[in-house]
C-alpha cells in the first residue's frame, strides 16, 4: 500500500488522462462521422452512407490525434521515459498512415461486403485502442530490461 502512495501523483494524472479519453468518446457526436449511426444499425446488408471524403478524413485525423496525444501523455506519466514516448509516437504515426489508407481503399474500391473490416479499421482510428496494447507491452519490456540488468 505504501508503494501505491508513493505514486499518487502518477495515479492522479493517469486517471485524469483516462477521463480525457472518456470525454473524447462522450462527445464523439461533435466529430463528423456518418458511419456512427450506420454501424449502430444492422449494417451487414446496408450500403455505405453518403459521406464527404475530406470532412471524414479530417474528422478521423482529429479524433485519432486527440486520442494519440492523451495516450502518449499516459505513456509518459507511467514510464517517465521520453525515448519510449517518442518511439510510441512514431508507432502512432505509422499506424495512422496504414489505417487511414486502408480505410479509404476499402471505402472507395470495395463493395459493402467488407463493411465488417471497415468497422474494425474505423474502430482503431476513433478509439484509443493502441494505448491498451502499448502500456502492457512497454511494461513487459521494462521488466525484461530490469531482469537482464540484474543478472
pLDDT at 13: 94
* DSSP structural state of residue 49: P
SS3 label, residue 124? helix
Count: domains in the chain: 1
Q: How far apart are CA 151 and CA 144, in angstroms?
A: 11
The confidence score (pLDDT) of residue 89 equals 98
> Cell for 121?
479499421
Kindly tell me the sign of the dihedral angle through the C-alpha atoms of 92, 95, 101, 106: negative
Backbone angles phi, psi at 34, to 5 degrees: -65, -15
Domain that holds residue 144: 2-150
Query: What predicted TM-score, i.e. pTM, was given to this entire model?
Result: 0.89
**pLDDT at residue number 73:** 97
Q: Spell out, as residue ranges, where the chain has pLDDT lower than 50.
A: none
Count of CB atoms situated within 10 Å of the CB of 51 = 16
Amino acid at each position: 500500500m505504501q508503494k501505491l502512495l508513493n505514486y499518487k501523483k502518477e495515479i492522479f494524472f493517469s486517471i485524469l488522462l483516462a477521463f480525457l479519453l472518456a470525454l473524447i468518446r462522450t462527445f464523439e457526436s461533435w466529430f463528423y462521422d456518418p458511419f456512427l449511426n450506420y454501424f449502430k444499425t444492422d449494417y451487414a446488408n446496408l450500403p455505405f452512407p453518403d459521406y464527404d471524403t475530406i470532412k471524414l478524413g479530417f474528422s478521423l485525423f482529429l479524433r485519432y490525434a486527440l486520442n494519440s496525444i492523451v495516450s502518449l501523455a499516459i505513456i509518459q506519466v507511467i514510464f517517465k521515459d521520453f525515448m519510449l514516448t517518442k518511439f510510441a509516437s512514431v508507432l502512432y504515426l505509422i499506424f495512422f498512415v496504414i489505417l487511414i489508407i486502408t480505410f479509404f481503399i476499402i471505402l472507395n474500391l470495395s463493395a459493402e461486403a467488407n463493411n465488417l473490416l471497415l468497422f474494425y479499421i474505423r474502430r482503431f482510428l476513433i478509439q484509443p485502442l493502441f494505448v491498451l496494447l502499448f502500456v502492457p507491452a512497454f511494461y513487459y519490456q521494462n521488466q525484461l530490461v530490469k531482469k537482464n540488468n540484474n543478472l
